[in-house]
Chains A and B, each alone.
Chain A
Amino acid sequence: MFTYYLRLAFKSIKRNPILSALMITAIGLGIGASMTTVTVNYLMSANPIPHKSEQLFYVQLDSWSQFEPAREPNEPPDQITWTEATNLMQAKQAFRQTAMASTGGVIEPTGQDDKPFMASIRLAFSDFFPMFDAPFLFGNGWSENNDTNRDYVVVISKATNERVFGGENSVGRTIRIVGENFRVVGVLDDWVLVPRFYDVTTGAFDETEEVFMPFYMKQELELSNGGNTNCWKSPEGEGFIAFLQSECVNYQMWVELRDQNEKDQYMDFLNNYVNEQKALGRFARPLNNRLSNVMEWMEIEEVVADDAQIMMWVSFMFLLVCLLNTIGLLLAKFTGKASEIGLRRAVGASKTDLFIQHLVETACIGVAGGILGLGLAFLGLEGIKSLYGEFVQNLVGLDFTMMASAILLALVSSILAGMYPTWRACNIAPASQLKSQ
């Protein structure tokens, strides 16, 4: 019977093309608007490293002023100082760990025709690459010895490799960055992280950096501060070293802890560390250390912006209005079919038969609306790209899940919208319709 109902649905849709087009358009508009905002929210809040997001922890230590918290009500600062970054790294208490910072610098290609260009740089430790599953096209990350010895080694992005080395395997070759020669030890493959969770303090949806170099190069080359720098008191003294030794926070710290036991032990270590620092006259606030896994950290940092969520709810309201319109149109359509419904009842169709027949018709309209909505969502996302430019490139795009969700949402919405008109249609008194035609 299902194929019969499908055939009847197509005939019915063709019979009232304008009414059907209005319904499909109403559903399409609602689905298009909803899916545009849902897609943005979905990609914003997606788990960027699902297989180990429960094992990667962001470290927060409350080194802030005794008189006020870094953030109300009692939040520790979202970054740590150079002192803590280096101390925690030297303690090596986690299975893997990396402190990190962002900076930037000029790359000078060797070709005479190639101009120097600015590149984003991430300063990190060797564990960075295995911790965050960085994909390599050539070579690998640097070693722990490279960190300790402050060797001039780098990992570069695929785009940088193409720009400087024409895409060849550049492992072992020299690249000149910030006026120094570095040996390339690895070239990353395409690495799109949405959001770029390892540092959301600057731009959660920025691209991964063009160059990665050992953390201590910060001190070695006196590299500038990237991202946010916050201080609750001014550095004691002038110059780069004074800044490094200050209470200013500009560094992120991630650890990989494989189970609850390791997490508990690391938290004990952090508490002991802070207590030691308290004895030295630092850390005036009560113990307030935090270990947040990836998704918890995304939540704390409000990676999904409030206005994006508001837009999503507004678009759902719009979908609801579209569905209410569809209900009205369906009522009109099914009322127009009253004599046919009466006839079908007379020749043996039960109310259930008619209910299924009309729900199939509604579902067909819903699927058509869903397909139109997908097209509109695609246009909507393109519109967002053109409005907000490059930095949302990674954010907007319809994947299979979102496409399937759009069709499913359209199907469910239209069936829900069709329930009342269908119920009304099934309860039409056949006798009155058969006589009055």
Chain B
Amino acid sequence: MDIVVCVKQVPEVTDAELEVTKDGTGIITEDLEFDINEWDNYAVEEAVRIKEAQGGTVTVITLGDEECEDVLRTALAMGADKAIRIEEEGFELSDAAGIAHGLYRVIRNLSFDLLLTGVQSSDDGWSQVGPILAELLGLPYAALVVNVEIADGMITVHRELESNTRERVELPLPAALTIQTGINNPRYVSIMGIQKVRRIEITETGSEELELSEEEIGSHGSSVASQVLSIPPVGEGAEILTGSLDEICEKTAQIIRDKGGVV
């Protein structure tokens, strides 16, 4: 089973206080740490588990600048065999379709049984690239996958639906899946582990080599004319309790009692 996994490097924003750049086109990333997109991490783990069970290879691909090699090294340390980086130049301001077209030009020349992406990325959250790639490649696909079983050239997956419900669908291979968090428990990668894979060569390519024109990628190829970012206005929101820790807890305890807790 040869598996291709698309991964993306994203800023870690869970506990970060974000600021928007002056021109409103992006966030200030200087003080942010970067890591593999959470959904993609689950996708890499799933690919490596399938490989460990059935044999084959795992190839990871990213589109980004040189810094993004870190996520490829992480994936290699998790057990991927090969890594490809598409240079970001020319792809700036691409929409999801533009990014997908870049990935498509590389993936169409690879031989594989299964193509995995994360359901979405934690930054832009388009959740588009996986199904777009499937359509471009002419593959059957399923999004929001939380369980995978492979047997006799067919793959049976569970798609996560709303309200604690799953749907079972069957697909012939080769196929494309977008992987939802929680499908597995991704292994931890140590610095030692990354050291071990530092000699694996990362294949590099770019928009010119992939014969993509300006009309297909970047701001020209994007369906978005402009994007202006802002910090969401604080709505009515919560009454923030203030005072010493003791005072805050006293108030909170009172609220809990008033509203029906602990009679």
The answer to whether A and B belong to the same complex is: no
Residues of B within 8 A of A (CB): none
Residues of A within 8 A of B (CB): none
